[in-house]
Amino acid sequence: MDTPGFSALDFNHLLNEEIKAGFKEFNNFECPYQDCLHINEKECLIKKEVQLGNILPSRYQTYKNLILKKGN
Ligand SMILES: [Zn+2]
């Protein structure tokens, strides 16, 4: 595949970054994965912090809905 320009994948990645940028509290925790979506990743720190109560579950739920709804 050598489609020049803006691929659907890039666009998707950009959307993810934008959604993540809206959840600044996630940045207080350093996820071991670069580029982590904090959804299905096994060792995701964000998911752990939600369980520990350091991130509001409702916020995480909203985040998850946004990521999943745009059809990852
Ligand atoms: Zn993560």
Q: What is the pLDDT along the chain (72 residues), one digit of tens a residue?
A: 555 677 888 888 889 999 999 999 999 999 999 889 999 999 999 999 999 999 999 999 999 999 998 754
> Residue 24 sits in which domain range?
8-69
Ligand 1 centre distance from Cα of residue 15 (Å): 16
Q: What are the phi and psi torsion angles at 54 (to 5°)? A: -85, -15
1 occurs within a structural domain: no
26 contacts 41 by C-beta, under 8 angstroms: no
2 occurs within a structural domain: no
59 occurs within a structural domain: yes
30 Cβ neighbours under 8 A, 6+ residues apart:
45
3 occurs within a structural domain: no
Ligand 1 centre distance from Cα of residue 52 (Å): 14
DSSP 70: T
Ligand 1 centre distance from Cα of residue 57 (Å): 14
Torsion of the alpha carbons at 26, 29, 33 and 37, rounded to the nearest 10: -10
Domain count, the chain: 1
Ligand 1 centre distance from Cα of residue 55 (Å): 12
Report the CATH number that the domain containing residue 30 is assigned in CATH.
1.10.40.50
pTM of the model: 0.81
44 occurs within a structural domain: yes
